[in-house]
């Protein structure tokens, strides 16, 4: 299956380590990814709140490009990107009247059917046996708290991914590394998202509650699959917390022997190395 890779804006900027780890891990596991040529911003949270057609056209153009380039599925590691691509596609598939407006806006045809959009967890989940077989540095003895946040599992009828209240897929991938996923209560709680700039104190409070719960259950690190969640939990920790926040692709990459530098582990605000000692 030809898999199109959509890094999106964050992975080319503030979440460069997420992009690095996805690419390095895909190479290590021999999972072919082809970056979609001429992709554009998905619009994230701003476009669909500003103009409905714009909010659909931005992700639709990338999906149309992928289809035109022969892609049979899209891997969009960023939770916001995958959420916007899935939501836009669902809307035009459920409302045929939108198709013409979107195609006129983007200047190209949309695919006739549904093009599967995979988040980071969905990308790795089918390859658990391959991950297990490729283990070079099993993370035995390391306890991890798998954090989903809001966008990976919501809205459930649109993303149709895992249980929105009690998801388990990230734990399954983490377990393949030899790490132990702790049972904790804040895995789908909001980190504050974009309020980090307008209401920093609220985000620090929310992140503090999440991290306190992870630590109380014995976690050595928190595992994420969303750039915004990573940014908030990494940068907005209460003073003295020092809880490492690691992308799922970095965790798997470490376990299969990818060098920490290739995974971008030196780019975090909160040092990761102490949790791996």
Q: 109 with 165, same domain?
A: no
**Mean pLDDT for the stretch of residues 10-32:** 97
pLDDT score at 198: 81
Whether pTM exceeds 0.85: yes
Q: Is the pLDDT of residue 193 over 90?
A: no
- Looking at 120, 151, 183, the residue that finishes a domain is 120
Q: Give the number of domains in the chain.
A: 2
SS (H, E, C) 80-147: HHHHHHHHHHHHHHHCHHHHHHHHHHHCCCCCCCCCCEECHHHHHHHHHHHHHHCCCCCCCCCEEEEC
Q: 267 with 149, same domain?
A: yes
Proportion of the chain above pLDDT 70, given as a percent: 100
Q: What is the mean pLDDT of the chain?
A: 95
24 lies in some domain: yes
Secondary structure (3-state) at 177:
coil
Q: What's the CATH code of the domain at 9? A: 1.20.1050.140
Q: 164 with 252, same domain?
A: yes
Give me 141's structure tokens. Answer: 């003895």
Q: What is the spatial distance between Cα 215 and Cα 212, in angstroms, rounded to a whole number?
A: 5
Q: 110 with 166, same domain?
A: no
Q: Is the pLDDT of residue 48 over 80?
A: no
What digits encode the pLDDT tens for the residues 207-254? Answer: 999 999 999 999 999 999 999 999 999 999 988 999 999 999 999 999
Furthest-apart CA atoms within the chain: distance in Å: 57
Q: What's the CATH code of the domain at 173? A: 3.40.50.11810
Q: 27 with 88, same domain?
A: yes
**Mean pLDDT for the stretch of residues 22-42:** 97
User: Residue 50: which domain range?
Assistant: 3-120
Q: 255 with 212, same domain?
A: yes
Q: 105 with 165, same domain?
A: no
């Amino acid at each position: 299956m030809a898999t199109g890779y959509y890094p999106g804006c964050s992975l080319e900027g503030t979440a460069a380590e997420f992009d690095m780890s996805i690419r390095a891990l895909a190479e290590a596991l021999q999972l072919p990814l082809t970056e979609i040529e001429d992709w554009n911003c998905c619009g994230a949270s701003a476009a669909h709140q500003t103009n409905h057609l714009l909010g659909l056209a931005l992700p639709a153009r990338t999906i149309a490009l992928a289809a035109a380039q022969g892609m049979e599925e899209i891997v969009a590691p960023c939770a916001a990107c995958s959420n916007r691509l899935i939501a836009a596609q669902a809307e035009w598939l459920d409302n045929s009247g939108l198709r013409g407006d979107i195609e006129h806006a983007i200047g190209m045809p949309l695919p006739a059917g549904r093009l599967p959009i995979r988040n980071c967890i969905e990308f790795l989940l089918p390859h658990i046996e391959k991950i297990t077989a490729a283990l070079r540095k099993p993370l035995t003895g390391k306890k991890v708290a798998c954090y989903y946040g809001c966008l990976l599992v919501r809205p459930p009828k649109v993303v149709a991914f895992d249980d929105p209240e009690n998801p388990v897929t990230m734990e399954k991938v983490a377990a393949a590394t030899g790490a132990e996923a702790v049972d904790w209560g804040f895995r789908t709680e909001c980190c504050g998202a974009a309020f980090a700039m307008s209401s920093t104190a609220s985000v620090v409070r929310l992140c503090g509650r999440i991290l306190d719960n992870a630590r109380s259950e014995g976690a050595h690190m928190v595992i994420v699959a969303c750039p915004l969640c990573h940014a908030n939990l990494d940068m907005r920790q209460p003073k003295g917390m020092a809880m490492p926040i690691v992308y799922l692709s970095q965790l798997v990459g470490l376990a299969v022997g990818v060098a920490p530098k290739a995974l971008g582990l030196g780019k975090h605000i909160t040092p990761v190395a102490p949790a791996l000692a």
